[in-house]
């Protein structure tokens, strides 16, 4: 029996893990029905990897994330500040929004105050020109990705939680959303236990992996490639999803070796902001990537295979 491993995105800290798990499976069940599948998901067949509270605690401690202000952001370490600014700038450019000019001092010296001031301009433009996406969400995503990629304690804790959920005695379909796709990719590519896994499908939803600043950090650690345990990788995204502004094709996410290729699945995500994996709307209907028959059908085919 193939196991289904679900990996959520960011901004889920403080939520009830069981409620979030049920929301994902409820929405995926709706997607399966829309795809014409008779499969019914059972708790024994799925693992929901919840790391939201752990990540928030490791990144921010007990005081919570810093407010999105010039002074708070300028106080971040220089490399992290530059990374956050690069992510926000690329999101703006991908949304074809106006990108403010970078102050000359920030461009030449990388001074924290100057980069912080420029980042604040970027965030103001993002709030103004990119509907359905707040500057706070992008900053927190960028900071979480930075922490995951650069802090050994953060990465080890989260990696081990996901690795423990992937069985070694049966195949596992891994479905990962947003920040979770960064985690899933890194674990499947680099974890010491990866040689014991069989993953017939890695399905990423609304992935930011091809954002240049994120991609380049991953490429510096190891060549970009389809992880060895993965037989098929499908990357689902809505082009209106500002956090998945690039597909994972060879132009934005060049693989070495280039085969097997990542399959880009372009869809229309009806969730507010076009980014959520699974959400129950106020009228009781289901929305998000997992509610779409083309996405859920991909899961069904892998589970039935």
Cα–Cα distances (Å) from 298 to 28, 45, 89, 214, 235, in that order, read: 11, 17, 33, 26, 11
**Which long-range CB contacts under 8 A does 106-113 form with residues at least 24 apart?**
110/78, 110/82, 112/74, 112/75, 112/76, 112/78, 112/81, 113/74
What does the pLDDT average to over 126-135? 82
pLDDT tens-digit profile of 54-97? 665 655 543 344 444 445 566 778 888 889 989 998 988 877 65
pTM of the model: 0.90
In terms of DSSP bridges, do strands 263-266 and 233-237 run parallel, antiparallel, or are they unpaired? Answer: parallel
pLDDT-based confidence at 120, cuts 50/70/90?
confident
Contact, 234 vs 132, CB < 8 A?
no
pLDDT tens-digit profile of 144-173? 899 899 988 889 989 999 999 999 999 999
Which three-class secondary structure state does DSSP give residue 305? Answer: coil
């Amino acid at each position: 029996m193939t196991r289904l491993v679900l990996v959520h995105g960011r901004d889920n800290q403080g939520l009830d893990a069981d409620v979030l798990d049920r929301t994902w499976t409820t929405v995926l069940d709706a997607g399966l029905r829309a795809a014409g599948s008779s499969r019914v998901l059972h708790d024994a067949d799925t693992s929901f990897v919840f790391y939201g509270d752990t990540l928030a605690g490791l990144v921010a401690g007990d005081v919570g994330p810093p407010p999105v202000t010039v002074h708070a952001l300028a106080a971040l370490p220089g490399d992290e500040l530059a990374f956050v600014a690069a992510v926000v700038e690329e999101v703006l450019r991908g949304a074809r929004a106006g990108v403010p000019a970078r102050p000359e001092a920030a461009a030449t010296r990388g001074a924290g105050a100057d980069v912080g001031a420029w980042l604040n301009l970027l965030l103001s433009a993002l709030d103004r020109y990119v509907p359905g996406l707040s500057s706070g969400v992008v900053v927190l995503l960028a900071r979480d990705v930075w922490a995951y990629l650069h802090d050994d304690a953060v990465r080890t804790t989260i990696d081990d939680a996901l690795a423990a959920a992937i069985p070694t005695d049966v195949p596992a379909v891994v479905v990962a959303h947003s920040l979770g796709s960064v985690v899933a990719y890194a674990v499947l590519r680099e974890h010491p236990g990866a040689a014991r896994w069989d993953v017939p499908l890695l399905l990423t939803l609304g992935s930011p992996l091809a954002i240049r600043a994120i991609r380049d950090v991953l490429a510096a650690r190891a060549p970009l490639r389809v992880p060895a345990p993965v037989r098929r990788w499908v990357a689902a995204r809505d082009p209106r999803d500002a956090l998945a502004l690039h597909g994972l094709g060879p132009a934005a996410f060049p693989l070495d070796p280039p085969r097997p290729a990542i399959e880009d699945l372009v869809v229309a995500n009806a969730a507010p902001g076009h980014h959520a994996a699974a959400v129950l709307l106020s009228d009781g209907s289901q929305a998000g990537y997992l509610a779409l028959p083309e996405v859920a059908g991909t899961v069904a085919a892998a589970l039935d295979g």
